[in-house]
Amino acid sequence: MNFVPRFHGLRYEPNSKFPRTDRVMHSIEYSGEDVSLRETAMFFNVKFKAGVITLWLPIRCFSKGKKSTATLKYLQRQWSDEFSKKAREHSYRARSAYKLLEINEKYKIIEPGMVVVDVGAAPGSWCQVVADIVQPNLYDDAFILGIDLQPIVPISGVNFLDLSDITAQKTHENMKKLLNGRSVDVVISDMAPNPTGDGGIDHERILSLCSTVLELSVKKSVIPLVKNGTLLCKIWDGPRREEFIERLKRDFGKVYTVKPKASRDHSAEVYLLAIKKLL
């Protein structure tokens, strides 16, 4: 059967097939990560529930061979990761929560009572962080909206627009309805396209998504970002990073390039933090 795992809001489509197996030797619950399971996908039947990835390991995963050994070492490394452990301990849906926590601790971009829009919100870890800070259940003016293509398990105090394409006009209309005339203080995006494996192509595609978020926040007012508002978006680094930074500087007073500690050393991801929207 074709194997299409769901992982941290992205879909991976391995070329190979693997036979169905009813024999399960071991299972683990694995908090959502920010890395591809493309290499190990053929071995696992992945199920997504309540923000947790459950991996069922078939018997044949434990057979001898370089690929099986590498797969198990990979899982062991991910399971023992410092930020994955913290995410499990504090009930965050993904280790990426610690990226936003670190950025906010340094730059203080999110405060109680704010209106925040999270684009690419699945599985919901950033919305968990935002809800803890903004406290929508205590502040009448506070409001959180999360948008994603994937389904998202509800979080208290957060309004989700899931199964929604951020590039679609229908999504824009639904966002306006939910915001209901509110101005937005902060727009955050940990969104990323399905990786192709080609760094140049992936760089262009994620910049295109960031450009969409920028346009919706600054030009089209689908996300009506206030003057002095903040935009935080993820990119995969590449040759056009500086060009996009210059584009951000046309609408924001200051732009920072941030690499949180929770981002893996080998990862090409960096975050562009644009503060003090000019108009």
234 classed as catalytic: yes
Q: Are 15 and 22 in contact (CB under 8 A)?
A: no
The residue annotated as part of the active site, out of 17, 85, 234, 254, is 234
**What sign does the dihedral 128-81-191-6 (CA atoms) show?**
negative
Write out the catalytic residue numbers.
Answer: 234
